[in-house]
Amino acid sequence: MDKVTVSAIETAHKWTQEHPSVKSVTEITTVDNGCLSFTAVFRVPLPSRFSKTGISRRGVRANEEVRFDFSSAFPHRAPALRLRDDFPRCFPHISPSKTWVS
């Protein structure tokens, strides 16, 4: 990847770390498909009745990992977002085709 693309990914990494809903962010790594990637753990505000178990009735966890995969076309192409394989896909705003890739 060229220096401009890497710099843009580093900026996205920094901004992700600074977001108040983000608990932690991994370092940037290269994944099998040649993309640069990092994973962020998001704090999900669950209803109080699920605070003890840390997971909702539908399977959403209080801390959810999201992997960001950046191709060499970034920032002209959005990163691919990957969720865990067993993340519930019953929500209309979650694309069922985007799954966690190990």
pLDDT in tens, the chain (102 residues): 889 899 999 999 999 999 999 999 999 999 888 899 999 999 999 999 998 999 999 999 999 999 999 998 998 999 999 999 898 888 777 665 544 444
Q: What is the pTM of this model?
A: 0.84
Rounded CA-CA distance 43/60 in Å is: 11
Burial 69-97 (b: 16+ CB within 10 A, else e): bbbeebeeeebeebbeeebeeeeeeeeee
Residue 97, pLDDT score: 52
Distances (CA, A) of 53 to 38, 56, 57: 27, 8, 10
